[in-house]
Amino acid sequence: MDPELGRAVRDAAARSGISVSRWLSQAASDHLRNELLGAALDVWEAEQGPFTDEELDAAARVLGVSGSNSRRES
């Protein structure tokens, strides 16, 4: 692991009050969940058609992120 990344992970774990191992486990879990969500969205769009800009903007508002209408890359 890159030393700077290692330091950042140790710092993040310390800020969270958990071990590095637990922090890495949670990060891996988040990554896998995001991959599964992406795959589910790909299936949805294949069956239902692409999400509209209005749908993407509504989702962005609910999630509290920018609604820039930028399409996610497949």
The predicted structure's pLDDT at residue 16:
97
The pTM assigned to this predicted structure is 0.70
Domain ranges of the chain: 3-63
Residue range 13-33: mean pLDDT, rounded: 98
The predicted structure's pLDDT at residue 71:
54
Q: Which residues contact 9 (CB under 8 A, 6 or more apart)?
A: 1, 20, 23, 24
Tens digits of per-residue pLDDT, 40-68?
999 999 999 999 999 999 999 999 998 66
pLDDT for residue 38 is more than 90: yes
Question: What is d(CA 21, CA 11) in angstroms, rounded to the nearest whole number?
Answer: 13
Mean pLDDT of the chain: 92
